[in-house]
Structures are given as C-alpha cells and as structure tokens.
Structure 1
Amino acid sequence: MKKKNEIVFTGIVFIAMAYGISRFSYGLLLPYFAKDLELTNQVSGIISAVSYLTYCLGLVSMFTLFRNYQPRAILMISGALSLYGLYNMMVAEHFPLFGSGVIILGYSAGLATAPFGQIIKEKVTYGYQDRSNSWINTGIGLGLILVGIIVWVVGDRWRIGYAVFLIVSLIIMWFSYKKLPEVDMSHLNYKTDLKNIFYGKKFIISTILLGIGTSAYWTYFQSYIFQTQYIQFTNLFWIMLGAGGMLGGFAGHMNERLGMTKIHILTAILLGVSNITLVLSEHFLLMMLSVTLFGLVYVFAMGVYAFWCARLYVEYPAMGIIVTFVSLAAGQFIGTFLSGFLLESYGYQTLFYIYGAFSLMTILFKPMAEELADI
C-alpha cells in the first residue's frame, strides 16, 4: 500500500507540472502576455489549437516509445521538454518563439499520460487501479491551484510567473526522478492494428465531443473574466477551478456507487451547465459555481472515460489510453481552432452557449450495457 501511495503521489505532482503548470497556464496568463506579444484572439486560438495537435502527436508516438523505452524514461523526456517549453515562453520577445514553447508543451503533455497508466497496471493491485488513475488525474487541479497562487503573487509580470513555473517544475522533475519505479516491459507487445484502434467507435465520437465542449473554456474563460467587473478576482476563479479538479479524484468512488452510464450522463449535463452558467449573467456566485464545477467535472470526465476505455480495450490497455486522449485532444484541437473565429464574430456569450451544447451532445453516445459487464 505504501508503494501504491508513493506512485499515486508522484503521478499527481508530475501531472500538475505537465498539465496544470505547463499546458493549461496558457489560458490564465493569456490576458497578461497577449498585449505584450501582440496576440489577437485568432492567433492565440491557432497557437492553442496547434498545441493540441502536437499533444496528439505525443500520444501517438507512445506506440514507438513503448517499444524502446521504460515508462520512467519517457516521463523524464516529457519533463525535460516541459522545462524547455517553459523557458522559451519566459524569454520570448515575440509570439513565434512563445508559440513554439506552447507547442512543445503540448507534445510533452502527450508523453505524460500513458506511462502512468502502464506503471499503475504493472505496480498496483487490480482493485486499486481505477482509483489510482483517478487520483493521478487530480494533478491537473493541483497544478491549476499552484498557477493561480503564483500569478496572484506576481500579478501581470508574466515573465516572472514563468520563471517560478520553471523552478517549481525543476523540483518536481528531481522528485519524480527519485521516486518513479522501473517497469519491466519485455513481456508486452504493442502492435498498431487499425481494427483494434477503432473497436470503440461510439466511445471515440463521445470523447471527441467532450474535447470540443471543453476547449473554449480552457482557452478563453479567463479572458472572459477580464471583461467583467470581477477582474480583481481572476486568480481566485482559477484557484477554484483547480480546487474543483482536485475533487474530481472521487470519480472512482462514484463510479462504483452509481454505475458508469449514469455517471456519464451526469458528467455531460454538468459540463454543459458549467459552460452556460459562466456567461448566463455576471453574478459572482454563479460564475464561481461555473469554474468550480468545470474543474471538478473535467477531471471527473477523464476518469469516467478512462474506465470506459479500460472495458473496451482489455487486450490492449496502452492502446485504450492513447485512443482516449488522442480523441479528446482531437476534439480540443477542432474546438480551439474554431473558438477564436467564433469569439471574433459572435462574442463570449454565444461562444460558451455553443460549446455547452457540444458538451450535452455526449449524452447521445453513452456506454452500452454489454461494454460494462464487469463494472
């Protein structure tokens, strides 16, 4: 049990670096650096969309990396790329170099997901695997909380903010290097078979819609806050988003109690509600509810979809993880690419209503009973 807890804690802090700090801090700091780097909404949307594309490339490259490297080594590569990307963003004077940092961070995050799934599979007792993966995903929330606190302290001095992110990431890298276990991969066979990849067609469509429905929130919710009377509370909103994400770790427990089909429907409804309530009215408590709910349900949804893919890709666990996150990132790429243009044309309210509708559409693609026979 001690070893399990050590792996989970290491996973939480590493995902806090790879996702919360490195990948999603872009949305929080966008209002600060956009003016300095002369970023329009369209350019910021394109940069974010390309980072989702490189995130997909990172995930797909796992098929090759798993044949040649241990999960621990892959995570060290991911961490090194995170440090390099953050450095580029810290020193950038113009948006091309800054954008390259964002894109590199997308790829590094793509390398950070599947290795932990494999470590959990090999090192944690079966009955604890779903819960362990759920709690590792809460690292996103922890990273968001750290980012929110750091930006609260440094204010609009975004370069100093990225310097602190870099220092925190270095500490996490050192800790992960010490604590991550070696995993024997010699008995595993990772073959890319298109027939097996597309086994869960309904699952893939649902995950793509989830990605589209959450993409605008990650990129523009903070910019929207800047347009309201609550600009002085922007970092508090971000911290509450992270706090909600930490609560998403209870997905495993809820899944056992209610069953995955009910949880899937509930997740879709709450994601739609969180998008819509953000712009429904400029009421402080309603907006605070929206960001907390979004953080909780986003991490919760990642856990739910991980459980679903585990039942579909029993013979190909690594492939299931990769298919899940590639589908999610594909949806986020599509959604982010379109969101900049929609924002320019129709404004924030229409943008979040449209993406709330995409979240609700995932109800139409829920798990089938025969896929969940062992739950």
Structure 2
Amino acid sequence: MRPLSSLAMAALGSGVIAITYGLARFVFGLFLPSMREELTITSTMAGVIGALPFLSFVFAILAAPWVTRRLGVRRAGVAAAGLAGIGLITIAQAPSSLLLAVGVLICGISTGLSSPAMAEAVYRVVPPDLRGRVNATINAGTSLGIALAMPAVLVWAEAWRSAYTGFAALAALAALAALCYLPREERISLSRPRLFSAPVSRAQWLGLARLSGLAAGMGCVSAAYWVFAPDAVINAGGLVSSQTAWMWLAVGIGGLTGAGGGDLISRFGPAMTHAAGLTVMSASLALLAINPGNFALALSSAALFGAGYMILTGFYLVRSTQIMSNAPAFGPVLPLLATSVGQVAGSPLAGWLVGAEGHVATFTLFATLGLAVAGLGSWLLKERATADERAPG
C-alpha cells in the first residue's frame, strides 16, 4: 500500500479525532438534559460525571507515548477508535448513572490515546514544512464530530440512546479506517523505552511548562461550557432540546477556524494568538450569561466558543510539537494533560456554582477567569517563543 499523502493524513486524522474527541468526549453536554431527566441526575452529580472523561484522559495521555511506541501508530490508532466505540455503546445501554459514568470514563481513555498517535503519524508521513498545518487541521476534526451531533439531536430528539448507538457505529468505521490506512510499523521492544531521539534542553522543558500551565487555565474555563451550556439555555433560558442541536452545529462550524491555528502562530506570534483565542472564548461565555433564553445570542456564543476552543487546542498542539521537535508523540502530552486537569477541576466547580448561584453567575465568573488567563498568557509567552524554538533538539 502506498504511503499516505499529507492531504490523506489530514483527512484520516481528522476523522479519528472527530470520533474520539467530538463524539466520545464533547457532545456529552448536549445530551445531558435528557440524561438527567431519565436517570435522575443532580447538577452536582452531572458535574462529577462530566469530569470523568477529562480524568481518564489524564491517565490515558500519560501512557499514550509509550503505548504508541509499543504498539505502533496503526495499532494505537485502532485502539483509540475502538475504545471510543466501547464507551459510546456503554453509554447508549446504561441503565443507571453508574454505568453511564463507566461509559464516559472509557470515552476519555480513547481521547487520551488518539492525539499522540496522530501526532506521531503526522511526523512519519508529512513533510516538516506542512506538519504544523496538518496537525492543526487534524485537531479541528473535533469540530466535525461536534457538528455531527446536530442532526442526531434533530432526528432522535430526546432519544439519546439511539444517538449514542449511531455514534458507536461511526467509531467502528473509524477503527477500520485506522487499521487499513495508518502507517504500519514493527512494535518497539520493551527493552527500548526511550521517547526522545535527542536530549531535551532546559529551555524546551520551560517552554512546555509555560504552555501547560496556560492550558490548565483554559481547560478550567472551557469545562463550564462543554458540560453546562445546553443545560443553561434549556433550564435557565427556556429553550428546547432541538435548539441546542443548532448550538452544537454552531460550535462545530466555528471550531473549523482552528484548522488555521498553525498559520496564526506563524503570522501573529504565540502571545497574540493565545490571547485572542481566550478572549473569544470568554466572550462566548459572557454572551450566554447575558441572556441564555435568546436563541440568536446562544448561536453566536456557540460559534465563538467553538472558534476560541479549537484555536487554543490547535495552538497548544502545534506549539508543543514545535518545542519538542525531537519527540512528536510526547510533545502534546503535557499541554493536553494540563487542559484535562483544568477541565477535571472546572466541571465539578461549575456544577456546584450552578446549583448554588445559577447559570448566569457561573458563566459570568468563568468568563472573567478566561480573561485573567489571557492576560497571564500575554506575559508568559511574550518574547519567549524564539528562545524555545532555538533550543537544540
């Protein structure tokens, strides 16, 4: 079989990420109102369950570079998509909140495995000058998965179990595509556990640490939206479930701008790109807080959130692989891990605040936090990008 072209790698990687991130991890909030009603889930419990895919992601992504080297890119990609399918079908069949939590937990594992595997695949098949663009395009596949949830909600309305069964079928197709087309390689012996092809400098570690700290703050801010935005417009704003489907379509369409994350870094620099992404995300939270019952504002909020979130995750992915150029599978691990740690903290915090203060106050506070992280990023990233990229590796 001929090696994948850059375009084919972008398409395949986007498909895998669409399943593991978009459907297995981030559409949970869209169906949460129906799940809460059928399974009698409180706001606090919903926040805890919503944190589970982020928590399992933490452990999965720590193991992902080793798994990728041990199994090879192809097997790691198949494992990621396959676990997504198992998690999704478990959610579809869950008779209680406990089994729902188990399915959500498995979905988080699939997400943690997929990004490092795709980053390694890009490193192996894509020319160096195109890797930033292809990585950002693959990362934007999350938006495609989120957008797929829109027709699912319109077709099945309150039948979230049917939607998740359909998502599981798509995950099986993604696993098959990964098996057929991802680059084949021999498994790495356990006696050769090295992740780095060259020594990692202090400047590289510091650059990655700054990036990860900012990613944690962004993850915390984003958690409120992923878990409680549909709940806010339905329970606080009085909109109906079918309207939240249009919101998620707007998130997906807005998120497609994340495909340009690599180009934004090249043109405007890391500090400005990061600040712009967080400002857009904060604006999305503020719009929802202004009037959660206004459908036009809700759509605008969703599009801005999708754009902000995908630009930022693309930013962390591209910058981390640039900084850790000698370890492409490891580069995204710490920033994506930090994003998930922030989401693990932000989800139950948002759930508690929703129960105590309501949706409007919660989204206002999280929007303010987003602006604070934007300001911090402007200071941490300014004048440091050149030093990181000059680091040996």
* TM class by smaller structure: over 0.9
Gaps of 5+ in 2: none
Residue by residue over 1:264-300, the C-alpha shift from the partner in whole angstroms, topping out at 9 and shown as x without a partner, is: 1111211111111112124332221110011111111
The question of whether the paired residues in 2 share the 8 Å contact of 1:12 and 1:137 is answered with yes
Matched residue, 2:18? 16
Query: Could you tell me which of 349, 371, 375 is aligned with 2:385?
Result: 371
1:1-375 to 2 correspondences below 5 Å: 3-183=5-185, 189-190=194-195, 200-227=208-235, 228-231=237-240, 232-281=242-291, 282-363=293-374, 364-366=376-378, 367-372=381-386
Give the Å deviation of 1:185.
7.5
In the alignment, the residues of structure 2 paired with residue 91 and residue 2 of structure 1 have an alpha-carbon distance, to the nearest angstrom, of 37
The question of whether the paired residues in 1 share the 8 Å contact of 2:87 and 2:106 is answered with yes
TM-score, with structure 2 as normaliser: 0.89
Give the Å deviation of 1:247.
2.4
Gaps of 5+ in 1: none
Question: What count of residue pairs does the alignment treat as equivalent?
Answer: 375
The question of whether the paired residues in 2 share the 8 Å contact of 1:32 and 1:156 is answered with yes
- Counterpart residue type for residue 225 of structure 2: Y
Question: RMSD in angstroms over aligned alpha carbons?
Answer: 2.3
Q: Taking structure 1 as reference, are residues 56 and 198 closer, same or farther at Cα in structure 2, changes over 3 Å only? A: farther
Q: How many percent identity over aligned positions?
A: 23
Give the Å deviation of 1:41.
0.9
Q: Taking structure 1 as reference, are residues 188 and 9 closer, same or farther at Cα in structure 2, changes over 3 Å only? A: farther
Give the Å deviation of 1:313.
2.5
The question of whether the paired residues in 1 share the 8 Å contact of 2:25 and 2:108 is answered with yes
The question of whether the paired residues in 1 share the 8 Å contact of 2:146 and 2:249 is answered with yes
- Counterpart residue type for residue 368 of structure 1: K
- Counterpart residue type for residue 37 of structure 1: L
In the alignment, the residues of structure 2 paired with residue 38 and residue 205 of structure 1 have an alpha-carbon distance, to the nearest angstrom, of 36
> Greater CA deviation, 364-373 or 347-356?
364-373
In the alignment, the residues of structure 1 paired with residue 176 and residue 79 of structure 2 have an alpha-carbon distance, to the nearest angstrom, of 13
In the alignment, the residues of structure 1 paired with residue 66 and residue 223 of structure 2 have an alpha-carbon distance, to the nearest angstrom, of 28
The question of whether the paired residues in 2 share the 8 Å contact of 1:311 and 1:371 is answered with no
> Greater CA deviation, 285-294 or 194-203?
194-203
In the alignment, the residues of structure 2 paired with residue 254 and residue 57 of structure 1 have an alpha-carbon distance, to the nearest angstrom, of 31
Residue by residue over 1:14-35, the C-alpha shift from the partner in whole angstroms, topping out at 9 and shown as x without a partner, is: 1111011111121111111111
The question of whether the paired residues in 2 share the 8 Å contact of 1:311 and 1:372 is answered with no
In the alignment, the residues of structure 2 paired with residue 34 and residue 216 of structure 1 have an alpha-carbon distance, to the nearest angstrom, of 17
- Counterpart residue type for residue 377 of structure 2: F
In the alignment, the residues of structure 2 paired with residue 75 and residue 177 of structure 1 have an alpha-carbon distance, to the nearest angstrom, of 8
In the alignment, the residues of structure 2 paired with residue 161 and residue 279 of structure 1 have an alpha-carbon distance, to the nearest angstrom, of 29
Give the Å deviation of 1:194.
12
In the alignment, the residues of structure 2 paired with residue 83 and residue 197 of structure 1 have an alpha-carbon distance, to the nearest angstrom, of 35
In the alignment, the residues of structure 2 paired with residue 237 and residue 359 of structure 1 have an alpha-carbon distance, to the nearest angstrom, of 21
The question of whether the paired residues in 2 share the 8 Å contact of 1:269 and 1:359 is answered with yes
The question of whether the paired residues in 1 share the 8 Å contact of 2:136 and 2:314 is answered with yes
- Counterpart residue type for residue 277 of structure 1: L
Q: Taking structure 1 as reference, are residues 190 and 2 closer, same or farther at Cα in structure 2, changes over 3 Å only? A: closer
The question of whether the paired residues in 2 share the 8 Å contact of 1:119 and 1:183 is answered with no
Residue by residue over 1:298-344, the C-alpha shift from the partner in whole angstroms, topping out at 9 and shown as x without a partner, is: 11111112233234333433322101110110111111121111110
Q: Taking structure 1 as reference, are residues 337 and 193 closer, same or farther at Cα in structure 2, changes over 3 Å only? A: farther
In the alignment, the residues of structure 2 paired with residue 185 and residue 274 of structure 1 have an alpha-carbon distance, to the nearest angstrom, of 44
Q: Secondary structure at the match of 1:113?
A: helix
In the alignment, the residues of structure 1 paired with residue 385 and residue 269 of structure 2 have an alpha-carbon distance, to the nearest angstrom, of 12
- Counterpart residue type for residue 195 of structure 2: Y
